[in-house]
Amino acid sequence: MKELMDLDLKQKLKKEKSPAEPAEKTVSAESDDIVIQFDDVSKIYPGDIRAVVEVNLKIKIGEFISLVGPSGAGKSTLIKLLTCEERPTSGRVSVAGRDISQLQKKELPFYRRKVGIIFQEFRLLAKKTVYENVAYALEVSDSSNEEIHEKVPKIIDLVGLTNRTNALSEELSGGEKQRVSIARALVHNPKLLIADEPTGNLDPVSTWEIIELLFKINKQGTIVLLATHDREVVDALEKRVVTMREGRVVSDQAKGKYLL
């Protein structure tokens, strides 16, 4: 059954790729469309715990990247550096040419609105509907009622939940809950969507549905960074794979496989 789903996903993804789409290449230092760049970035915690060690990484507009590695490899810390939850001990993390470690506290909310993030845990508001969960992400940023009423139905439709708009979060399946989480992450039209183990709590069918949705979002121009331990998903995507081990990037393949 799982092998059949793998094959089905591969066929669907290949159909969506343009025949004229050039072969993917690992990002080079000369690229003009680099949006995110890690330059010799290290993060060392007290006790000389080296979570990230001298990482150099460049991410271009519209890329889909699978970030893989064993537990403790540094993936979560790398993500926290990108969302400004952590600051590098040394090196520079730049987004659109700006060192994000230099952002002032008042600038962080505006920056984070352009970085959507979803987690393994769905983190939905209990006793709230799909619409209310998605609308909340706009309400906390002081969006107008007009903007909320305009945006929320469109985003719910994008993630395929129009027929569940008024369903309570507790009435949703795991896959549906993750779709709501993705919808919330998309309300501010982020340039980057970070998916941190988004399928870890899902059954195989729901897993492929979420991966296809992420692929669809990526085809619309959003950078997707998928942190995952799922070998079948990574191999089926045939996208760029960055492998970390002991805080270091040990492999960066343009059309990669799960190497661990």
Each residue of 190-246: pLDDT tens digit? 999 999 999 988 999 999 999 999 999 999 999 999 999 999 999 999 999 999 999
**Band (19; pLDDT cuts 50, 70, 90):** very low
**Which pair of tokens denotes residue 89?**
């001990």
Residue 2 has pLDDT above 70, yes or no: no
Residue that wins the pLDDT comparison between 31 and 108: 108
- Predicted confidence at residue 8, as pLDDT, reads 52
**Band (110; pLDDT cuts 50, 70, 90):** confident
Residue 39 has pLDDT above 50, yes or no: yes
- Predicted confidence at residue 223, as pLDDT, reads 96
Q: What is the pTM of this model?
A: 0.85
Could you tell me whether strands 192-196 and 115-118 are parallel, antiparallel, or unpaired per DSSP bridges?
parallel
**Band (23; pLDDT cuts 50, 70, 90):** very low
Q: Are 243 and 69 in contact (CB under 8 A)?
A: yes
Burial (0-12, 13-18, 19+ Cβ within 10 Å), 97:
exposed
